[in-house]
Amino acid sequence: MPMRFFGGFFRMFIPLFSKRRYDDICDSKRLSKCGILVAFADEIDSTSAEARRWAESGGKAPVLFVAERQTAGRGRLGRSFYSPSDTGIYMTLLLEIGEDFPDTAGLTSAAAVAVLRGTDRLTRGKTQIKWVNDILLDGKKICGILAESFLVGDKTYAAIGIGVNVSTKDFPEDIRGIAGSIGKRVDRPKICERIACELYDLCLCASRGDRLYMQEYRERSAVLGKRVTFLKDGIASEGIATAIDDDGALCVELDNGEKVTLSGGEITLRLK
């Protein structure tokens, strides 16, 4: 189903949540102040894929893409993200970026902090960040983040996708043991708005060299000081996660004393 846009381009309406909730987010003073266009769909393959299509068609940014359901939600390393109707937040913020913006690892870190801030009232601050792109609650993944950058002509865009399991219960068997949800039925569009505004502000701060939010990231890390195993270039290694730098890279001290720095990409990390 095609997207419908609000905030200055089109005024056609597909009811994503309800008319009242449409008013809540589309008339948001915070989003309007940021100049963020909002695009909704009842169902779409992927909000990140739609963000890329929008940029490639000559569309302007920033745009917040939101769907009630994704049929092909995407995660890191080609994985899928389960996105059923009525129970989650599925969003992608599209930004036009310059050389002063952080790389995808840095954008992922900013998104993680934005999710914490946007959901802390619901989770009572109990969520943690599992490097590089997962948010955990009681040890289970309630949120995944996928940050990508790409060129369209002479412009560089970042598409920062976020999926939050708000009240999802019936997960597919292959992820049932690791996936969780916030466990409450809440005003999802309001939480979506809060996360989007926090993310936009943090990205602007990062572009100005202000990475103070990374201290918040470190304080909520689920991996610092823990023994981890990671797979890089097909080779498995183990060590202690010792630090996370301001660019979002993870420092690990291996058992032989060697220190390595991991920056996302094709790296898979597990807690021991």
Within 10 A of 238 (CB to CB), how many other CB atoms are there?
13
CA dihedral sign, ordered 219, 222, 137, 144: positive
Q: Which of 34-43, 121-130, 151-160, 209-218 has the lowest mean pLDDT?
A: 34-43
pLDDT confidence tier of residue 266, bands split at 50, 70 and 90: low
**Half-sphere CA count of 15, side-chain side, radius 13 A:** 6
Instruction: Give pLDDT, residue 235.
Output: 85
Of the candidates 71, 55, 75, 73, the one whose C-alpha atom is nearest the C-alpha of residue 63 is 55
Instruction: Give pLDDT, residue 272.
Output: 66
CA dist., res. 208 & res. 99, Å (int)? 11
Beta strands in the chain (DSSP E): 4-6, 37-44, 63-70, 88-97, 128-130, 134-137, 140-152, 155-165, 227-232, 235-244, 250-254, 259-262, 268-271
CA dist., res. 249 & res. 267, Å (int)? 11
pLDDT confidence tier of residue 265, bands split at 50, 70 and 90: low
Instruction: Give pLDDT, residue 9.
Output: 36
DSSP type of residue 267? -
CA dihedral sign, ordered 118, 108, 196, 213: positive
Do the bridges between strand 134-137 and strand 140-152 make them parallel or antiparallel, or are there none, so unpaired?
Answer: antiparallel
CA dist., res. 262 & res. 96, Å (int)? 26
Per-residue model confidence as pLDDT tens digits over 107-146 = 999 999 999 999 999 998 899 999 988 999 999 999 999 9
pLDDT confidence tier of residue 100, bands split at 50, 70 and 90: confident
Per-residue model confidence as pLDDT tens digits over 247-256 = 999 999 998 9
Helix and strand numbers, DSSP H then E, in the chain = 6, 13
Looking at the predicted structure, is the pLDDT value of residue 38 above 50? yes
Looking at the predicted structure, is the pLDDT value of residue 21 above 70? no
pLDDT confidence tier of residue 161, bands split at 50, 70 and 90: very high
> What's the average model confidence in pLDDT over 170-175?
88
Q: Residue 67 phi/psi, 5° resolution?
A: -130, 145
Instruction: Give pLDDT, residue 86.
Output: 85
Of the candidates 255, 234, 213, 4, the one whose C-alpha atom is nearest the C-alpha of residue 110 is 213
